[in-house]
Structure 1
């Protein structure tokens, strides 16, 4: 604002104030004298009139004594009027303070009472220099309102105002998660063994299942079932010495690795329905297999003999690296999404982190108090690993494998058999046994339970995620495979549940 404009604004406001004084019936105009004081011996004019301008000119009077008496009386009357005007302005200013206090509390709720506000306002000078368009620091917002219709004293509801605001505020529609499986497959001879891994879903939407001594393939698109191999060679198996103990698809989906109870690992071509090669090294059952998704020809195997082997199906040697660290059976193996670190869990309650180029572990986590089979890497956060403990531990723990820090621990009150992260959201699904026999969907990192899925009658030992990342399949000691639509982002599953024996559908 320019200087002239400011002077005009001040003059206009002075004029408005002057008009207000006259409107109250006063015939005397409050002005600031711009000339020296009047001469008391001046001669008064013959005709007196009330000036209607700001500048007063001195005039002479023929009777000085009378003029002096009139001037004294006029000054006393003027003083009284000035005092009354000041008192009126003070009252108006006080009312203005009270009004600003009330409006201020309504607009920006304060914790102060009305008396506190008036006392604070009264502590400031009555007349303080004001600046046009001056800047001020915003006051901190508080909770209480003064004489407001939304104050709890005026609240007709038994709920406090905060609760009503939560109830009436707009919220996101609840996510739909089906609590029932959309498909159930009977899987006879599916072993009830915590240390094995017998179910895996390929990138080509084919499910591989190890049943006894055989491996079966179920096509999720056509629902056709194929028997891939039989380790017993057709004769009866009474001591489980030829059972399948683990399976894992290669990244291309054309080959599958099969771990056996005797120790060898076989590679099968599913299109030709024939064995490609047998890779030896382990002397006891191979319960864990893990494929490195960044190298379609390499995978790792863990065994009851406590060793871990890195293998390449193109290499004529059975393995190119041997990892030693576990004191008991290796039952959990998973490569991270980048293919740079391998996590291994064992029956010795230990969790190890290995670098792909080194046979010495990077980190050793001894925090679990039971076997560590459930292992899953987050696809959303680099270096975030989740692990679950067995029946004497019952906890899901989170780790930063880059720094080696412990990120959190959550007690599930049940044996943790498997873990898998959602690819679409920061969610984690876990399968449980002993006292629960259920599947739980968690929100990470709050660990809020989004859904609890029930249906299995025995502990849920096996878990795999579909290639589109929306469905999971679980296997249990009740010899059934159940398909759940849990990572669907709220879309309703329209498929009808079907139940049939996986072996009876062989074509």
Structure 2
């Protein structure tokens, strides 16, 4: 709703009504600044589009709201009246208060509620009075969560012996009744889904935030069980849907929806595993919640575990100067030289120096077996080197300009050049006999990747095109032109056959997903910055992207939800180079700041299948 047009009222807009809690927001903010408990209040219609709420303990303050239509105004009034009289004030647990500015008294005193009786709970449904220490911990957690989540804070000592957690309050006084043991007939309903932001960077959650969020979900579920009788017995994954702790999430989402719960909470007589003689201060559902297995929180370190100097590492978007072999050796092209760094021994060796030939390195690529290194040069040559012997085996000609992209397919090597040509050659045969020329790009070829089944080759160029080739044709079998900038970042999914991901440059900033089996586009997400590289995790359905202008960050994505798992920063220049370790757990990134940074981003998932003994009589046909 919009705020009121005139009058001395509190300018708020309503967003949702959950049970009998009315959350109100400022018109210029997205987060709620308070919540009103709709009990002991009076609702009046001001005109066709406006209604007001007055609380008995705040007679001098009127909360006025303007609706978009007369029908909507009536719907709000009916729902608020229903919420006001749906529940009786029982088992009061005080949430926050403020001394009345005019009378100087506690507003709750008019209801006969004192500090001694404020936290008393009825001994009903088999529940004993709340333990004072346990109560203090709960209330302390309420205060901590409110400080992190919303401006509503405890402003007064909650018990005579509690710690003075206080801060000034600008709003009226409300308190929350305890619903312990009650069987609610009204479900929590999600009214409006959270809209996805175009800038996905705002949704990035680091490991610390994920851990705190998971803890907050557990505390929230525990509080709902103890205070509201929600009956939650399991906390779901914090990275799943937005409202994870709600008892129900109906498919039909009307503005106001009240329904009878179809899932009854387990009572004390339903034969649960909790002992009736338990001395725990919490209910049986809360005990099950605390005992339920908890999925370990995904934590990704924001700090690289190793940083190496890489002098003369070029800041050129169209080059590919870093690759990691299957034998755990890193190759890096620095100026006119290629260096090898062993991840096992941390030893560095210089493989070759092209300064004698007046040439420089523009790309490097390891063979699948990890014994050969292909080196593309500025003059258009492709050199094949034996890494172990440090010996040059052959020099492949055919390009007339620099070779910026290399891709191995068994013993076949594909090379892309500024001359707009892709050459495919078998290094075991004479070059001219095995050469295939693929011509489809109109500008420099800057990205090449073979599919995991070795049947399709994807190429990206400075002409904003993404082409897909096969073995039997010299013409592309598929052509995608949706990108608005150069396509260098290309990655085939190892988990889904035919799934291809690609990223565009500064003018595009998007990561797109394609079904190469049907030729149809699947998804697209705007990253907000130049996409330099893409790589899929070998073990999970996630991928990592590196970016340039203007944020120079590294992002980890979950597919197909495209939610950001982590955001890594540290490079001061564009993150132009990316390679993955052979075990699939670590990545190395390179940038024009002349550093190589190593990150642990992917976890190696262990198989959940039980090992079966060969001696088992039931696993063999007799």
- TM-score after normalising by structure 1: 0.63
CA deviation profile, 1:5-57 (whole Å, cap 9, x unmatched) = xxxxxxxxxxxxxxxxxxxxxxxxxxxxxxxxxxxxxxxxxxxxxxxxxxxxx
What residue in structure 1 maps to residue 183 of structure 2? 149
Q: For 1:490 and 1:383, how far apart are their aligned partners in 2?
A: 23
- The CA distance in 1 between the partners of 2:605 and 2:502, in whole Å, is 27
1:199 aligned onto 2:322: yes
| Aligned counterpart for 1:263 among listed residues 380, 398, 408 | 380
- Is the Cα contact below 8 Å between 1:195 and 1:373 reproduced in 2? yes
Identify the residue that residue 311 of structure 2 maps to in structure 1. 188
Asked whether the equivalents of residues 428 and 442 of structure 1 are also in contact (C-alpha less than 8 Å), the reply is: yes
1:152 positional shift: 5.8
What residue ranges of structure 1 are gaps of 5+ in the alignment?
1-146, 492-507
Q: CA deviation at 1:326?
A: 0.2
* In 2: Cα distance, 1:274 partner to 1:256 partner: 10
- The answer to whether the 8 Å contact 1:363/1:404 transfers is yes
1:305 deviates by 0.2
- Show the 5 A alignment for 1:113-132: none
Return the alpha-carbon distance in structure 2 between the equivalents of residues 481 and 434 of structure 1: 18
- Is the partner of 2:477 in helix, strand or coil? strand
Distance 1:215 1:259, change over 3 A: same
Residue matched to 1:502: none
- Aligned 8 A contact 1:150 1:161 in 2: no
Is 1:458 aligned to 2:492, yes or no? no
CA contact (8 A) 1:176 1:490 kept: no
Structure-2 change in CA distance of 1:165 and 1:377 (3 Å): closer
For structure 2, the 5+ residue unaligned runs are 1-180, 189-223, 233-242, 248-285, 607-622
Aligned to 2:239: none
1:232 equivalent to 2:266? Answer no
User: Aligned pair 1:380/2:495, yes or no?
Assistant: yes
Q: Confirm or deny: 8 A CA contact 1:437 1:458 kept in the other structure.
A: yes
Q: Is the 8 A contact 1:349 1:369 kept in 2?
A: yes
Q: 2:448 maps to which residue?
A: 333
After superposition, the CA RMSD in angstroms is 2.5
**1:255 to 1:436, Cα distance in 2 relative to 1, 3 A:** same
Alignment partners' CA distance in 2, 1:164 and 1:468 = 34
Give the Cα–Cα distance (whole angstroms) in 2 for the partners of residues 324 and 395 of structure 1. 25
Match of 1:467 among 582, 593, 599: 582
Pick from 343, 351, 362 the counterpart of residue 466 of structure 2: 351
CA distance in 2, matches of 1:489, 1:270: 28
Q: Deviations over 1:131-176 (max 9, x none)?
A: xxxxxxxxxxxxxxxx953356998969999969449765523112
For the residue of structure 2 that corresponds to 1:233, the secondary structure is helix
- Assess if the C-alpha contact under 8 Å between 2:330 and 2:342 holds in 1: yes
Counterpart residue number, 2:414: 300
Please identify, of 318-327 and 200-209, the stretch whose mean Cα deviation from structure 2 is larger: 318-327
Q: Distance in 2 between matches of 1:392 and 1:181?
A: 29
The structure 2 residue matched to 1:247, chosen from 364, 381, 384, is 364
- Residues of 2 paired with 1:351 and 1:358: CA distance? 17
CA displacement 1:280-302 (0-9 Å, x = unmatched): 0000000000011xx2x111000
Superposition pairs for residues 419-438 of structure 1, below 5 Å? 419-438=534-553
Question: 1: CA distance between counterparts of 2:451 and 2:244?
Answer: 46
Larger Rg: 1
Contact 1:177 1:490 in 2 (8 A): no
- 2:389 paired with 1:272: yes
Counterpart CA distance in 2 for 1:153 and 1:271 is 67
Q: What SS does the corresponding residue of 2:356 show, helix, strand or coil?
A: coil
- The structure-2 alpha-carbon separation of the partners of 1:166 and 1:184, relative to structure 1 and needing over 3 Å to count, comes to farther
8 Å contact from structure 2 (residues 305, 599) kept in 1: yes
2:407 corresponds to: 290
- CA deviations on 1:439-465 (whole Å, 9 max, x unpaired) are 100000001111111111111000001
Relative distance call for 1:489 and 1:249 in structure 2 (3 A) is closer
Say if 1:152 and 1:161, in contact at 8 Å, map to a contact too: no
Report the equivalent of 1:214. Answer: 337
Asked whether the 8 Å contact 2:404–2:445 carries over to 1, the reply is yes
Contact preservation (8 Å) 2:539, 2:605: no
- Aligned residue in 1 for 2:485: 370
Deviation at 1:357, TM superposition (A): 2.2
| 1:309 matched to 2:423 | yes
- Structure with higher RCO (Cα < 8 A, 6+ apart): 1
Which digits, 9 at most, give the CA deviation of each residue in 1:343-391, with x for residues without a partner? 0000000000000221111100000000000000000000000000000
